[in-house]
Structure 1
Amino acid sequence: MNRTLNFAHRGFRSRYPENTMLAFSKAADLGVDGIEFDVHLSSDGVPVIIHDETLDRTSSASGLVKDFSFDELKKINAAAKFKSAEPLNGTVPLNEKIPSLEDYFDFIKNKDIISNIELKTGVFEYPGIEEKVYALLKKYNLQDKCIISSFNHESVLRMKKINSSLVCGFLVDSWDLHPAAYLKKYGVECYHPPAYRLTKEFVDELHNEGFKVNAWFGSIQTDYSQVLITGLDSIITDYPDKIADLL
């Protein structure tokens, strides 16, 4: 059985401001196998990395991401609302920019790290986002070092249509029954369920059909060791340091 891979959810977000270059660089320093992050489009069509459709929860601004140009987004403090879950060594810089996808790719291009790119097309579809993300993947030659995922499965299939060899995953927040048939129908390689849904039998069923299971943790952290014994392929958490210790 292959080793479970350790993915940092929105970067090392339990200790650093989520989806910022600081959180990504600290995750890389830790030696993670992958980094998961979220992509929207600015009003002028630039792929940017932030989780919510709105700026309010994490930044110094308010409003919809899609209503701001990239130049405007660059002036916003993405770390303004950050509070660490654990004591920090030293202080977190008070100002972190909202990164563009290109900023991230330029940072990650020579690192042995898989990028799990979540297309945040569940509320706003951002027409053309798939082509823009793929153009940057191609520019940085990262097509073979990424997983494309989304809760909008049509968005995933649009990426598959652009390049069928891209590794993709259907994100779900449900207890689907026998998802292997669904994955097989649409030619998607990975299933991304919430970690609390996993059992060894469920993971084995997907593995037996040739699919990978990359599970994510949201705000509720269940027992990591119990999740790891299911034999899943990747675990996506806010605490990549704790997963590193367990692995």
Structure 2
Amino acid sequence: MKKLPRFVGHRGTREQRPENTKEAFDYVYALKPAFEALGSSVSFEFDVRLTKDNIPVLIHDESLWRTAGILTLVSELTYLEMKAISFNDHMKYHPGTLITLAEMFDYYPDVVFDAEIKEKGERGILLADIFIALINQYDAAHRMIMHIPCIETSMYALEHFPKGCRFELPGSLIEDFQTKVYHGNPTAKSEGYHQMCMEFRGMISNEVIDYVQPKFVENARNLGYPIVTFWENRSVSYVDEDILHRAVKLGVDSVIVDDVLQTLKVFANIVASDNATNPK
């Protein structure tokens, strides 16, 4: 059996706990030994925005409506005002606690971070500078994977981030790039994609193409992208086990999933099946 991919907890675990909260990351972190026992590993995907007083906090949306039921922008509240809010808009009604970027470095020193800068313009550059300071403070470049949709901020980060940080393709270029890779387009490198990033997220599918197949992964690696990540988070409460099985068989490096327990179950079943087929 090929090595199990790294499990990337999408916003922690959206199925078991409120997304991007301390409870979500603690829940996944407690299962880290179980993944490692199977030969996998755990990392966190999360989104970062700046409060009114420029404190970087973990939250996906520009507004607090979906996660906290409050019609207010993150940029309109101070950190202390946000900290007083319970992010409990969740199907299982677990309470959720706001967590800062600095706290992520404090609480989880041995976890790879797949972090997205949600700000753009001047605020995007400011947030990038805060990331740089924290990465240097915690000597964490080796475990940073950055996703920066804003092209301006992305190019700034590529120039200024500490050596060793990895970068994913900006979201605005992903679909076009993936189509080129899928068809083995030899111009993909020359168009600047290779210089822009060392990693990209391979979406499971669009309306036309199913990417979870050998030729996509092989073409990506032949073009110089050794890390291939597949999303399996099209809806909370649903994990396509067939997709995960196929991803493992292809030898992809990581999978981004909403449900940590379902992923752990699938990985355990794969290992058990392999052990039964190929006993030591």
1:151 maps to which of 149, 152, 172:
149
**1:129 aligned residue (124, 127, 130):** 127
- Count residues with an aligned counterpart: 235
Higher helix share: 2
**Per-residue deviation, 1:44:** 1.2
Q: Which residue among 45, 57, 81 is the counterpart of 2:66? A: 57
Deviation at 1:233, TM superposition (A): 1.1
**Residue 10 of structure 1, CA deviation:** 0.3
TM-score of the aligned structures, taking structure 2 as reference length:
0.76
Residue 214 (structure 1) aligned to one of 214, 223, 229 = 229
Give secondary structure in 1 for the equivalent of 2:145. strand
Report deviation, 1:171.
4.6
Structure 2 residue 201 is the aligned partner of structure 1 residue 192: yes
CA–CA distance in 2 between the matches of 1:43 and 1:16? 26
Distance 2:194 2:121 in 1: 26
Write the letter of the residue equivalent to 1:228. V
- Report if aligned partners of 1:12, 1:239 keep a CA contact under 8 Å in 2: yes
2:136 alignment partner in structure 1: 138
Shift of 1:122: 6.3
Conserved? CA contact 2:154–2:170, under 8 Å: no
In structure 2, distance between residues paired with 1:144 and 1:200: 28
Residues 45-99 of structure 1, C-alpha deviations (whole Å, 9 max, x = no match): 11110111110001142211111111111111122x1113xxxxxx83x3x3221
Opposite residue 251 of structure 2, the aligned amino acid is G
Distance 2:150 2:4 in 1: 29
Instruction: Report the equivalent of 2:15.
Output: 14
Equivalent position SS for 1:195 = coil
- Could you tell me which of 79, 83, 99 is aligned with 1:70? 79
One-letter amino acid of the counterpart of residue 213, structure 1: V
Q: Secondary structure at the match of 1:77?
A: coil
How much identity, in percent, do the aligned residues show?
23
Task: Determine if contact 1:24/1:35 at 8 Å carries over to the other structure.
Answer: yes
Gaps of 5+ in 1: 85-90
Give, in angstroms, the shift of residue 118 of structure 1. 1.0
Using the TM superposition, name which of 61-70 and 16-25 deviates more: 61-70
SS at match of 1:224: helix
Q: 3-state DSSP class of the match of 1:43?
A: coil
Letter in 2 for 1:61: I
Worse-superposed segment, 225-234 or 46-55: 225-234
Distance 1:165 1:142, change over 3 A: closer
- Aligned-pair distance for 1:228? 3.0
1:52–1:178 CA distance, 2 compared to 1 (3 A): same
8 Å CA contact 2:143–2:165 kept in 1: the answer is no
* Secondary structure class of the residue paired with 1:66: helix
- RMSD (Å), alpha carbons: 2.3
Letter of the 1:10 counterpart? R
Deviations 1:90-149 (A, max 9, x none): x83x3x32211112111012x3x2111111136995341110112112222211111111
* Distance change (3 Å), C-alpha of 1:153 and 1:224: farther
Which stretch of structure 1 is more off in the superposition, 220-229 or 12-21?
Answer: 220-229
Q: Residue in 2 aligned with 1:166?
A: 165
Quote the residue 1:177 is aligned against.
179
- The equivalent residue for 2:277 is none
Structure with greater Cα Rg: 2
CA contact (8 A) 2:121 2:152 kept: no
**Pair 1:129–1:224, CA change in 2 (3 A):** same
Give yes or no for contact 1:60–1:77 (8 Å, CA) kept in 2.
no
Q: Which residue of 1 aligns with 2:53?
A: 44
Unaligned runs of 5+ in 2: 33-40, 182-187, 268-280
Cα separation, 1, equivalents of 2:221 and 2:46: 25
Aligned partners of 1:61 and 1:76 also within 8 Å: no
